[in-house]
A and B are shown apart, each in its own frame.
Chain A
Amino acid sequence: MSLRSYISLKDVVFSRTGRRIFDGVTMDIPRGKITAIMGPSGTGKTTLLRLIGGQLQPDSGDITVNGQSVPKLRRKELYALREKMGMLFQSGALFTDLSVFENVAFPMRVHTKLPEDMIHDIVLMKLEAVGLRGARQLMPSELSGGMTRRVALARSIALDPELIMYDEPFTGQDPIAMGVLVKLISDLNSSMGLTSVLVSHDVQESLSICHYACIIADGKVIGAGTPAELQVHPSEQVQQFLQGHPDGPVPFHYPSSVATEDFGLAGGVS
């Protein structure tokens, strides 16, 4: 692991229910930068975040976060490491029985012994950062999808983490909400000096704010580099993904038997 890397994956192999998800993934995620991990749906991008967070164990290979080997950590050490991580889930994952204020205050109440008035002020500051100070009394059921993610973002930065992982933050957002999230991710990274890992398949939004990007497909890293480097990457598969071509190395048709057989026609071609 180089000094500049905050997260390092080395030859990570991971299978689930008999299916090989990662087949020797190696990548370095630099400290203090935004790294986008992109790839078609179903390639295991969220699984990669769960491996980094220690919620899943790789079959082989190593994952280090800030110099600590995550698969080898004991339970207590792993939970201590997670206190330095924030994660924004695709659904927001707010606690539905707590108000916006209490959701953001939750990590502080659990992990710190700060006095109530200080928690109050910090929560309001975090909510101010995502533009939702005025929504602190609302319940999660009263929030729109974009607001839910902003509250979840405020909660994930409540303990001032070193690392924040975003799981598909732009999915299902209207253009305004998407613009807000893009700005927030970029601003938080620069103002707090965070290491950010952004998992997404929204190419334009991700490339517009990331410093580095990695494209995963078929269980491997097929392309990595700065956004400018990726735009001229020689791999056809990378270009198909970035340009959104419907056919190419990733075929339009799902593998199937010969068409004439399915249509009940003897002879002919598929």
Chain B
Amino acid sequence: MIDRIASFGRSGLELVVSIGRAGRFLAGVLSGVPRPATGFPLLVKQLYSVGVLSLAIVVVSGLFIGMVLGLQGYTILSDFGSEAAIGQMIALTLVRELGPVVTALLFAGRAGSALTAEIGLMKATEQLSSLEMMGVDPLRRVIAPRLWAGFIAMPVLAIIFSMVGIWGGMLVGVDWLGVFEGSYWGNMQASVDFFDDVVNGVIKSIVFGFVCAWIAVYQGYDCVPTSAGISSATTKTVVYSSLAVLGLDFVLTAVMFGNF
């Protein structure tokens, strides 16, 4: 019994230490002001690998999720004779929730795991150490551009996801199932508020982008530099990011839309 309590306590302490280390790591990354001449090209390169290369999976997923929403929405709403409201249902669902959340989950699986594996491998092959010994801070040279790239790319990806989803919903609802196109766009325009819905959705995706990128780069930087260590860190990135996104989504939704 005592052993179990001790083990529980040890796990708690390890968690606190880990959070503290991650916080110090973040402070170290954000404390340095990058020089535009060197920092900007590095950021652009990472924006390409983190953002542009994630476009395919985001666009395809957005399209299918929008199409599924169109089908499900039509089936449910037509029971009440209100299938004309399908446009507002799809738009609100995507802009408020599915856009930021699903994009963040896809980001964690596609870009987050790649970031962790890349940084972990750089650590295992002593590339990070060699940077330090060359008088180059790896936190600023390697980690900071990747963190900022995730932070910037996520809201853009989430907006693209929602736009493609709305278009996918229209393909099914309007072009296939015959909902009047004017109703689809008109109801959407009347019910979606720019600040309450669109801006709040973007704020969500900014928070998710920051958290996902932070978890990914920290797990890579802090991993045990072996094959098993990198594998474990990559798994942790996906699991922790997904849980953090879902948990934070609840909190943010309660704060943004919880005016009961």
* B111-161 CB contacts (< 8 Å) to partner A: 125-127, 129-130, 132-137, 141
B38 CB within 8 Å of chain A: yes
Report how far A87 CA is from B135 CA in the complex, Å. Answer: 11
Q: A89-B126, A91-B125, A96-B125 are in contact. List 13 more A-B contacts (CB 8 A).
A: A55-B133, A81-B135, A82-B132, A82-B135, A83-B134, A85-B133, A87-B130, A89-B130, A93-B130, A96-B127, A107-B134, A110-B134, A111-B135
A237 CB within 8 Å of chain B: no
Interface SS of A by simple majority: mixed
Shortest CB distance A78–B (Å): 9
Interface string of A87-109 (1 = CB under 8 A from B): 10111011110000000001100
Report how far A90 CA is from B129 CA in the complex, Å. Answer: 12
* B74-133 CB contacts (< 8 Å) to partner A: 125-127, 129-130, 132-133
Question: Which residue of the partner chain, among B125, B136, B137, contacts A93 with CB atoms under 8 Å?
Answer: B125
- CB-based nearest B residue for A80: B135
Report how far A169 CA is from B223 CA in the complex, Å. Answer: 26
Residues on B with beta carbons closer than 8 Å to the beta carbon of A79 = 135-137
* A41-61 CB contacts (< 8 Å) to partner B: 50, 53, 55
Residues of A at the B interface (CB closer than 8 Å) are: 50, 53, 55, 79-83, 85-87, 89-91, 93-96, 106-107, 110-111, 152
Question: Which residue of the partner chain, among A50, A82, A95, contacts B127 with CB atoms under 8 Å?
Answer: A95
Report how far A81 CA is from B135 CA in the complex, Å. Answer: 8
Report how far A94 CA is from B141 CA in the complex, Å. Answer: 15
Is B135 touching A93 in the complex (CB atoms < 8 A)? no
Shortest CB distance A149–B (Å): 12
Is B126 touching A106 in the complex (CB atoms < 8 A)? no
Residues on B with beta carbons closer than 8 Å to the beta carbon of A107 = 134-136
